[in-house]
Amino acid sequence: MTKTYQFPENFLWGGATAANQLEGAHLEGGKGMNLADVMPGGKIRFKLISQLGFDFEIDKNKYTYPNHDAIDFYHRYAEDIALFAEMGFKTFRLSIAWSRIFPNGDELEPNEEGLAFYDRVFDECLKHGMEPLVTISHYEMPLYLIKEYGGWRSREVITFFERYAVTLFNRYKDKVKYWLTFNEINGATHMPIFSLGFSPATEEVRLQETFQGLHHQFVASSLAVKACHEIIPEAQIGCMLLYAPVYSFDANPVNVLHAMKEEQLFNYISGDVQVRGEYPAFTKRYFKENNIQIDMQEGDLETIKQYPVDFISLSYYMSRTEKKEKTPEDMIEGNIMAGVKNPFLEASDWGWEIDPIGLRISLNQLYDRYRVPLFIVENGLGAYDTLEEDGSIIDDYRINYLRGHIEAMGEAIEDGVELMGYTPWGCIDLVSASTGEMSKRYGFIYVDKHDDGSGTLERKKKKSFHWYQNVISTNGKEL
Ligand code: BGP
């Protein structure tokens, strides 16, 4: 007999997206250009994400820019939200494009047309009984802030971000009760350009500049938490971590220690600062040994201490395996967070190792360390889908992936973890962040749009649409 799992009565089932990956209409409604608008699609994208010294001075005629049109959610949001409602979503995670609200980023007054757009989107969600879960910043910093201020290198950006966040809280205080500050904030060490809006010029300055930029974001995030609690006392605001537990390749203590250090660096600095309100003890030695001197202003550490987040949200796609001495042949290819190949795991077509047990481990680790509620706001399988002649899409591989991860969540809840909800990534097919292409699909809803820009944009329900609908209506009892 298959086991059934007990999810809390008010569990927030839903799906997740980000503005730059689905809205399109990149120059409509008074929106300014942002980071995603200048990130080309295709193989070059993957290179640029992790490359040092990326300055956007590339030959623009050589590339495509799929984020410009994306899947046109800007005009089709009502149809899409109705489909989410049909699946039974209790919540819908989306982000606000900063440059729709402040086109350059440093203006004093917001763009009314941008604010009005999200009013319409939130009203549509609420009409269907769906709670909006809003990421304030998801890889879409206004380009002007990047070019004129150097992105999060600059301390001044804290003020602009705070103004932006306060504007959102005031405007949407009656509509939005769940907020997230920075998407995958800890990803900055692997994908600086996405998270920080700049990429350090050389290896020598990489760590110094990355942690300085992160420090600015930590302060900005705390100020957003403060403002959120003041303006919307009943709201909850969380941080967002890119979480991948780090396994040692074997039982050699040298490798175990190495994996532990990677785990500390990648998984715990951002969590400790935003939840415990302090830099973890190990950073003292790490910063010293790596010549990192964070320029802090008086009051920064107090601000961080005083305004921790209410909950932790995380993306979970894979685990990572590490050993101290490795050769290129040891590595798993295609993954942004390079690690060595784990012989026990299968990988997706993009080299992301599939590991549902790793999710249970992650949830236990996070809950043990922080004791605040957790929310999985991204998880899923990027895959090539085939549109059959009769118009159907039989995505059993996606169903199997999600089933395994939902079972792991059920186990973690039995372990004692407090889990608020689950919003699988890309609930409707959208532009991939790492490839900038459409062919890496995550959705329950297929969108007729292709890597070369062609397609009717028609939406079609995949097999997983009906499967997930049943998961939600049985509150996770039928998987
Ligand atoms: C996360 C990002 C998302 C998203 C997802 C899947 O890192 O927060 O924006 O795209 O990963 O990644 P990809 O689109 O590269 O498959």
> What percent of the chain has pLDDT above 70?
99
Tell me the CA–centroid distance for residue 432 and ligand 1, in Å: 6
Number of neighbours of residue 396 by Cβ within 10 angstroms: 11
8 Å CB contact between 31 and 104: no
Could you tell me the pLDDT band of residue 2, with boundaries at 50, 70 and 90?
Answer: confident
Closest residue to atom 5 of ligand 1, CA basis: 433
Number of neighbours of residue 257 by Cβ within 10 angstroms: 12
Averaged pLDDT of the chain = 96
Domain containing residue 142: 12-473
Q: Which of 385, 432, 439 to mutate to test the pocket of ligand 1 (most atoms within 8 A of CB)?
A: 432
For 211, counting Cβ atoms within 10 Å of its Cβ (0-12 exposed, 13-18 middle, 19+ buried), the class is buried
Tell me the CA–centroid distance for residue 109 and ligand 1, in Å: 31
What confidence score (pLDDT) does residue 149 get?
Answer: 96
Please report whether residue 81 resides in a domain.
yes
Output the DSSP codes for 88-115: T-SEEEEE--HHHHSSSS--SS--HHHH
Tell me the CA–centroid distance for residue 376 and ligand 1, in Å: 14
* Ligand 1 atom closest to 187 (CA): 7
Q: Is the pLDDT of residue 155 over 80?
A: yes
Find how far residue 42's CA is from the centre of its chain.
20
What confidence score (pLDDT) does residue 338 get?
Answer: 77
What confidence score (pLDDT) does residue 393 get?
Answer: 98
Please report whether residue 427 resides in a domain.
yes
Q: Where are the alpha helices (DSSP H) in 30-155?
A: 43-50, 73-87, 98-101, 112-127, 143-149
Closest residue to atom 3 of ligand 1, CA basis: 433
**Residue 423, domain CATH:** 3.20.20.80
391 residue type, one letter: G
Closest residue to atom 9 of ligand 1, CA basis: 433
Please report whether residue 262 resides in a domain.
yes
Distance CA 451, CA 431 (A): 9
Tell me the CA–centroid distance for residue 248 and ligand 1, in Å: 25
Please report whether residue 4 resides in a domain.
no
What confidence score (pLDDT) does residue 335 get?
Answer: 67
**Sign of CA pseudo-dihedral 157, 300, 134, 411:** positive
Q: Which residues are catalytic?
A: 378
Please report whether residue 308 resides in a domain.
yes
* Ligand 1 atom closest to 434 (CA): 15
ipTM: 0.98
The number of distinct structural domains making up the chain is 1
Mean pLDDT calculated for residue range 208-218: 98
Please report whether residue 412 resides in a domain.
yes
Mean pLDDT calculated for residue range 218-234: 98
* Helix H or strand E segment including 285: helix 282-289
pLDDT digits (tens, 9 = 90+) for 234-252: 999 999 999 999 999 999 9
Tell me the CA–centroid distance for residue 302 and ligand 1, in Å: 33
Output the DSSP codes for 213-276: HHHHHHHHHHHHHHHHHHH-TT-EEEEEEE---EEESSS-HHHHHHHHHHHIIIIIHHHIIIII
* Helix H or strand E segment including 469: helix 463-473
Pocket of ligand 1 (CB under 6 A): 18, 183-184, 242, 315, 378, 382, 425, 432-434, 440
Is the pTM above the cut of 0.80?
A: yes
Pairing mode of beta strands 459-461, 419-422: unpaired
Distance CA 188, CA 379 (A): 19
- Characterize 191-206 residue by residue with b for buried, 16 or more Cβ atoms within 10 angstroms of its Cβ, and e for exposed: bbbbbbbbbbeeeeeb
What confidence score (pLDDT) does residue 79 get?
Answer: 98
pLDDT digits (tens, 9 = 90+) for 381-395: 999 999 999 999 999
Please report whether residue 34 resides in a domain.
yes
Closest residue to atom 15 of ligand 1, CA basis: 434
8 Å CB contact between 358 and 245: yes
What is the distance in angstroms between the CA of the first residue and the CA of the last residue of the chain? 13
Please report whether residue 479 resides in a domain.
no
Pairing mode of beta strands 12-16, 445-447: unpaired
Top pLDDT among 215 and 60 is at 215
